[in-house]
Amino acid sequence: MGTALAAGQAWIGRHAMNSDGVSYLDLSQAYLRRDWRAALNAYWSPLYSWALAAARLVAGRSGLEDFALAHVLNFGIFLAAFACFDRFLLRLIRFTRRQASDRLSAEPLSDWALLVVGYATFLWSSFTLIDLRLVTPDLLLAAFAYLAGSLLLDVRLPETRWPTFAALGIALGFGYLAKAPMFLLSPCYFTMAVLLAKPGHRLRGAGVMVLAFLVVSGPFVLALSRQKGRLTFGDSGRLNYAWFVNGVPHRHWQGDAGKNGVPIHPTRRVLDSPPVYEFRTPIGGTYPFWYDPSYWYEGVRPHFELFGQLAQIARNGRLYWAMFSNIHARSLMHAGNVSLVASPLLLFGLLLCLALGSRPRGLSIRDSWFLLIPSALALVLFSMVHVESRYIAAFAVIGYLAVLAPIRLPAAAVPLLRNAMVLLSFAACALVAVDLWRAHAIPDPSENADSTLGQELQRMGILPGDRIASLNYSNRGASASAHRMEASIVAEIYSAGGTDDEALFWNSDEATRSRVLHAFADAGAVAVLAHNPPPEARDWITAGRTGYSVHLLDPADRAGVRLREEGSQGAQPRK
């Protein structure tokens, strides 16, 4: 059933593409053309783009377009994550049985009940917290988190040898290559493994484990550090800390009197009212600003702020509560799917088991402390910076099962709770299935809008390799359309504070709007995208039913831009 649900979700989202996915697709292209300078990126971790590049090679000339190929890859990653989770769950059950009490008055849930609950929790987290329709590496990270958890359980076995430690180091190394936060969590896993190992194996196991981790992760860390001129394992964490804790603008930071550092090469603000930013060079990609944010934010200085940190922890704490209790989930998580109701169902079952756990020795959560600590640390680390449900999905599942599996229950209560947990698990899976059916029966028109927009732009004479501009922040959809037709977005209007960017343009006088369009032309754009031009706007062409309108810039201005570029002797764009 899980495989069918995954295939259904991948199929439903086959035309959809998020802005992060566009950047990963661009990176995979850079690797395929062996443009190592452009491929090395301090913000986006490399493993997912390597997988996309490999998928392109395997697909060859199959005719499968980029977006569909990415969703096929997501389905393959789901199968790998399912296998890793299966390994984790079976070893957790085996470990629980070894730790079971000899008392007849208390016993854990049956193996088959734990299997049902475990698989239901995995499916719920994969489809609801992560969502296969998103082109992100979060499910890839989840696979390595499950694998690392299963290897920790192996380390505790008396027959464990050094290959298990090596495998744990390799799994954590690839977990880091999937997403950078695993680099910070790896020392915790190392510590747990050393504490679990037999005294005679601890020193050798630690050495083998760390060496294996460094062999996998070290080359990328060295390459990044050389590129940045400082020791770093990635800049995603420091940038998110600056954005969410220090209050640095999320987009187009121009400096703030040295409070958070001084930007070395920010995007170029070419007009003040309305604020127009140009970022044509030196970064390439479909949307250069989001292709490598670490370049544009070079010089930012994240620093500890007590009140800012406490405020962010409080915000993320409310989000955790919403995530697992479904209270105000729509407003906090921007999610409208009924499968979120599964989270309080599963939470209720866990709390019921905890409440009825026999005392005082029956509650044996202390047996799984080595799984709970890394999971709890992951939730704490994300709570200090930025939380999205897909970030913590795997760690939440591991923590949930690490609490549930060792609980000892009164023998008389086991049948009732077993049946209740199984019913709750089936209800959770049913809710996920209902969401998939609704997505198929009532498709989101925005998922096909980007595909149609690309076709409309081509009909207007915009060619692959052309540049376009936007009256809105382009991460809201235009980047996917540009990628489909191999164009690039080089300029946009952006104002912080939630102001309607496009309204700033339409509310300006004719002379100001003309200056904006000339600024776009100077940036090399051949067309401008808009969502809501007023009926009286001239020279704006409605792009079918996409919700976009297009203004083609003056051909003479565009020719002048090309002549200036051909005669320029400056730095070449980083493609």
- The pLDDT assigned to 338 comes to 47
Identify which has the larger pLDDT, 517 or 347. Answer: 517
Q: Using alpha carbons, select from 385, 349, 529 the residue that is nearest to residue 456.
A: 529
- The pLDDT assigned to 437 comes to 61
- The pLDDT assigned to 112 comes to 77
Q: Using alpha carbons, select from 282, 292, 350, 362 the residue that is nearest to residue 102.
A: 362
Q: Is the pLDDT of residue 445 over 60?
A: no
**pLDDT category of residue 377 using cuts at 50, 70 and 90:** very high
Which residue bears the tokens 């090399």? Answer: 524
**pLDDT category of residue 424 using cuts at 50, 70 and 90:** low
- The pLDDT assigned to 231 comes to 94
Q: Is the pLDDT of residue 342 over 70?
A: no
Average of per-residue pLDDT values in the chain:
83
Average of pLDDT values for 154-178?
91
328 contacts: CB under 8 Å, gap ≥ 6:
322
Identify which has the larger pLDDT, 332 or 16. Answer: 16
Cis peptide before 360 (omega within 30 of 0): yes
Residue 283 has φ and ψ, to the nearest 5°, of: -85, 140
Q: Which of 145-159, 367-381, 397-411 has the lowest mean pLDDT?
A: 397-411
Residue 107 has φ and ψ, to the nearest 5°, of: -155, 155
Identify which has the larger pLDDT, 416 or 3. Answer: 3
- The pLDDT assigned to 477 comes to 67
Per-residue pLDDT reduced to its tens digit, 479-529: 888 888 889 999 999 987 666 788 899 999 999 999 999 999 999 999 999
Per-residue pLDDT reduced to its tens digit, 138-165: 999 999 999 999 999 999 887 778 899 9
Could you give the strand order of the β-sheet that contains 467-470, starting from the edge strand earlier in sequence?
Answer: 268-271, 276-278, 488-493, 467-470, 525-530, 549-552, 541-542
CA distance 575 to 572: 9
Q: What is the DSSP letter of 571?
A: P
Average of pLDDT values for 117-137?
87
Average of pLDDT values for 417-434?
68
CB 482 within 8 A of CB 489: yes
CB 221 within 8 A of CB 182: no
Q: Is the pLDDT of residue 572 over 80?
A: no
CA distance 32 to 10: 24
Question: Could you tell me the maximum CA-CA distance found in the chain, to the nearest angstrom?
Answer: 88
- The pLDDT assigned to 292 comes to 95
Q: Is the pLDDT of residue 443 over 60?
A: no
Q: Is the pLDDT of residue 224 over 50?
A: yes
**pLDDT category of residue 428 using cuts at 50, 70 and 90:** low
Q: Is the pLDDT of residue 330 over 80?
A: no
- The pLDDT assigned to 309 comes to 96
Identify which has the larger pLDDT, 68 or 427. Answer: 68
- The pLDDT assigned to 455 comes to 78
| pTM, two decimal places | 0.88
CB 253 within 8 A of CB 542: no
Task: Calculate the alpha carbon distances from 431 to 87, 118, 343, 436 in Å.
Answer: 25, 16, 10, 9
In sign, the C-alpha dihedral spanning 324, 325, 326, 331 is: negative
Q: How many CB atoms lie within 10 A of CB 518?
A: 15
Q: How many residues does the chain have?
A: 575
- Structure-block tokens of residue 480: 């996917």
Cis peptide before 282 (omega within 30 of 0): yes
Task: Calculate the alpha carbon distances from 122 to 142, 182, 248, 338, 398 in Å.
Answer: 10, 20, 36, 17, 9
Helix crossing, 138-155 with 46-59: angle to 10°? 110
CB 316 within 8 A of CB 561: no
Average of pLDDT values for 274-288?
93
CA distance 324 to 124: 12
Angle at 239 (CA atoms; ends 236, 245), nearest 5 degrees? 125
Identify which has the larger pLDDT, 558 or 216. Answer: 216
- The pLDDT assigned to 128 comes to 82
Q: Which of 18-32, 212-226, 336-350 has the lowest mean pLDDT?
A: 336-350
- The pLDDT assigned to 565 comes to 45
Q: Which of 110-114, 213-217, 416-420 has the lowest mean pLDDT?
A: 416-420
- Bridge pairing between strands 268-271 and 525-530: unpaired
CA distance 250 to 229: 24
Q: Is the pLDDT of residue 32 over 60?
A: yes
Q: Exposed, middle or buried by CB within 10 Å (0-12, 13-18, 19+), for 236?
A: buried
Angle at 317 (CA atoms; ends 314, 321), nearest 5 degrees? 140
Q: Using alpha carbons, select from 377, 448, 47 the residue that is nearest to residue 234.
A: 47
- The pLDDT assigned to 63 comes to 58
**pLDDT category of residue 449 using cuts at 50, 70 and 90:** low
Q: How many CB atoms lie within 10 A of CB 273?
A: 11
Identify which has the larger pLDDT, 452 or 556. Answer: 452
- The pLDDT assigned to 556 comes to 52
- The pLDDT assigned to 334 comes to 40
CA distance 523 to 552: 14
Share of the chain above pLDDT 70, in %: 78
**pLDDT category of residue 563 using cuts at 50, 70 and 90:** very low
Per-residue pLDDT reduced to its tens digit, 457-484: 888 888 888 999 999 887 666 788 888 8
